[in-house]
Structure 1
Amino acid sequence: MTNLVGSKIFAGHFKGRRALVTGGGSGIGLGIAQAFAEAGASVMIVDRNPAVADAAAGLREAGFDVEHAVADVTNEDQVRAAFARVVELWDGLDILVNNAGIITISNLEDLSLDEFNKVLNVNTTAVFLCCREAAPLLKASSNGVILNASSGQGRQGFIFTPHYAASKFGVIGLSQSLAKELAPSGVRVNSYCPGIVKTEMWEYNDREWGSRLGNYKPGELIQEWIDEIPLKRPAEATDVANLLLFLASDAGSYITGQAINIDGGMFMN
């Protein structure tokens, strides 16, 4: 495991707090789960891949209070079961991170309705399902926080991904609406917008976009895009996790309803 700068800064800050992270079995989600665990939180990692059990076991072996649930976040019954498990273990919830997400890349004429709906179901509808289930638990917490994964494509849609862009714009709108509704109960809701991140998803993006945008060899297109980032590098999961630690902490207590870019300056607003 990699020690995270943010978790050192916030060491012990989340002691006694309970977090649930969807899509936490690998990539950005695992980095987020590790960061909150290192900062003292009890963490439930939710993922549809059974390998999430190994990820959770690795964090427990390192001395952290981490459990897992195998669940499809688009399935209401499985979502309810995952949250019920959190209550069973820790008698409540303080932090929800809706990080689960998928992308496919397709020409408009080849994009099926099933594929369109699948992306929206995972990226947007599942966020609604988890927020709805978490709301009463977070209202009962003195530190209720929801953090929802949007994307740079929640700022600007990109070619060959109309369904993904729609899903990520939707997350920002959903988050703003819930921020207003839940504020009287003291629950803060924000979304985060990563750009290029070192994950398997971006390896897929490089291959698929590269094949449609030109005769790119693997690694060439993504490097071309990285060269255009003002900070000249892709993000690590650590970068995203550090932002979320701040937003969930007492230091971020006056921030709600925002969509915050974490992309090295790809999008500035």
Structure 2
Amino acid sequence: MNVKGKRALVTGGSSGIGLEIARELLRAGADVVITGRRQDAVSLAVHSLESVGAINGVSADVTTPEGRARTLDLATSSLGGLDILVNNAGGVRAGRIEAIEEEEIRQMVEVNLIGPILLTRAALPMLRKSGDALVVNVSSGIALVGMAFYSPYAAVKAGIAHFGEALRRELDGEGVRVLTVYPTATDTPMMATSGLGRSGGRETASAVAHDVIAAIFNDRLEVVRGDPDRLAMMKLNRTDQGTVDDALRPTKAATEEAARNHSAL
């Protein structure tokens, strides 16, 4: 897809991977709308992007009907339509499943799975009108290799990945494609309370965004991030999960400690 002149909506675009995807889309010549739950963060993000290209933003919670309507209303009024929808907004609460509150699990399901599905459903009439449209779903590497102490998060990220796979086949030949992104541990505000990968083991949001834009230009179906060892583990997990279990067992205690306070909802 040639991004120049395209109209794009990025949820969770006020920080992290969403902000950098918005930046790369603007650099490639797209007009962009970003959303976020906090108006101050959205305003700061818009200000930081104004010199790059045509940007607008709205404070909206895409887990609510009102938030989704406000998001698409702005896309209509400021962009005049929609060619690219990036479902990036997300949240996490890690730890032993017994220690995660029911409301926290429900929040993860809403923001990572139900919200993106319903926003995509509502946006499809606009995307169909484009004739050359794309839905980008930001999943996680944890959807490919489930990690201890992230079980609800792994479930919803696997869910959005399979939603995208099924939707891609449903829309095949109808002018709307689907790209799924699997970032590994990335240095973003959502990872601020996590102990995972703090010693140089996280990649940058800009590196993820750069790969996403390259994938859009080259009509790829997925973006899978990670160092060679992580990518090899993802591949092995498809055929020999027991061996992956054995490899991860010695890290269980350290992973539990690193995940204990990881919360960004």
Q: TM-score, normalised by structure 1?
A: 0.81
Q: Which amino acid aligns with 1:244?
A: V
Q: Which residue number corresponds to residue 5 of structure 1?
A: none
Q: Which residue number corresponds to residue 214 of structure 1?
A: none
- In 1, distance between residues paired with 2:162 and 2:183? 17
Mapped contact 1:239–1:262 kept (Cα < 8 A): no
Mapped contact 1:47–1:69 kept (Cα < 8 A): yes
- 1:267 paired with 2:235, answer no
Q: Which residue number corresponds to residue 238 of structure 1?
A: 206
Q: Which amino acid aligns with 1:264?
A: D
Q: Which residue number corresponds to residue 41 of structure 1?
A: 30
1:242 Cα offset (Å):
1.4
1:63 Cα offset (Å):
4.6
1:223-259, CA deviations, whole angstroms, 9 ceiling, x for partnerless residues? 28x3xxxxxxx3211111112212322x31xx44xx4
Determine helix, strand or coil for the equivalent of 2:215: helix
1:195-219, CA deviations, whole angstroms, 9 ceiling, x for partnerless residues? 111122223111xx6xxxxxxxxxx
- 1:111 paired with 2:111, answer no
- In 1, distance between residues paired with 2:72 and 2:15? 20
* Structure 2 stretches lacking a partner, 5+ long: 236-265
Tell me the number of residue pairs that the alignment of Structure 1 and Structure 2 aligns: 231
- In 2, distance between residues paired with 1:120 and 1:222? 26
Q: Which residue number corresponds to residue 55 of structure 2?
A: 66
* Structure 1 stretches lacking a partner, 5+ long: 1-9, 210-220, 227-233
1:155-203, CA deviations, whole angstroms, 9 ceiling, x for partnerless residues? 1111111110001010111001110111231211121100111122223
- Written as runs of structure 1 = structure 2, the 5 A alignment for 1:21-36 is 21-36=10-25
1:107 Cα offset (Å):
1.4
Determine helix, strand or coil for the equivalent of 1:192: strand
What is the RMSD of the two structures over their aligned residues, measured on CA atoms?
A: 1.8
- Which of 158, 162, 170 lines up with 1:181 in the alignment? 170
- In 1, distance between residues paired with 2:214 and 2:48? 25
Determine helix, strand or coil for the equivalent of 1:222: coil
- In 2, distance between residues paired with 1:104 and 1:33? 25
- 1:57 paired with 2:57, answer no
- 1:222 paired with 2:198, answer yes
Q: Which amino acid aligns with 1:57?
A: H
Q: Which residue number corresponds to residue 130 of structure 2?
A: 141
- In 1, distance between residues paired with 2:19 and 2:52? 16
1:56-105, CA deviations, whole angstroms, 9 ceiling, x for partnerless residues? 12211x15100001100101221122112111122211111111111111
- Which of 109, 112, 115 lines up with 1:120 in the alignment? 109
Determine helix, strand or coil for the equivalent of 2:93: coil
- In 1, distance between residues paired with 2:64 and 2:72? 13
- In 1, distance between residues paired with 2:21 and 2:52? 16
Determine helix, strand or coil for the equivalent of 1:223: coil
- In 1, distance between residues paired with 2:45 and 2:33? 11
Structure 1 stretches of 4+ with a deviation exceeding 3 A read: none
- 1:169 paired with 2:133, answer no
